[in-house]
Amino acid sequence: MPIPTSAYAHVRLTVTDIARSRAFYDDVFGLPVALELPPDADEATRQRLGFLFGGVIYRLGNSLLGLRPVGTDGFDENRTGLDHVSFAVDSRAVLDDAAAMLDERKIAHGGVREIGAGYVVEFRDPDNIALELFAPKESNSPRVAP
């Protein structure tokens, strides 16, 4: 019998430079921080939050997105593991605004493209991790990206 799942709980990305990655994700997505090690944390708190490895976990709706700063090499979606992370947005108009915002920040992207079930904008973070914004063709369509 299959495991009855309903959504992702969290995704954590391994990055090489936490300060650079936090600046990027804060600027592009502006997600609220759910969990991070306070700079003045006592030893007990440091041990309890050791799983963060000095990174951060953001709240993304009912899910979490984490950055784990222990990467030692570059991202390659052609290796076994992560291909890309796709973030759902509500409409094509949001994608158009997002593409303009990425242009303002000089973040390279592929423009808004139709992919059958909806529209996407593809771009990369500072570690070259492939990111995507996805909008369904109809506002009541399920948010499923390839």
Greater confidence, 36 or 4?
Answer: 36
Task: Give domain 1-72's CATH architecture.
Answer: Roll (3.10)
Question: In the chain, which segments carry CATH 3.10.180.10?
Answer: 1-72, 83-146
Residue 145: predicted pLDDT: 55
One-letter identity of residue 47: Q
Task: Give the separation between CA 117 and CA 45, rounded to whole angstroms.
Answer: 45
What residues contact residue 3 under an 8 Å CB cut-off, 6+ apart?
A: none
For 129-146, how does the pLDDT look when each residue is reduced to its tens digit (9 = 90+)?
999 999 999 754 455 555
Fold classified for 83-146: 2,3-Dihydroxybiphenyl 1,2-Dioxygenase; domain 1 (3.10.180)
For 96-141, how does the pLDDT look when each residue is reduced to its tens digit (9 = 90+)?
999 999 999 999 999 999 998 899 999 999 999 999 999 999 754 4
Question: Could you tell me the two tokens for 51?
Answer: 């799983």
Neighbours of 108 (CB within 10 A): 9
Helix, strand, or coil (residue 125):
coil
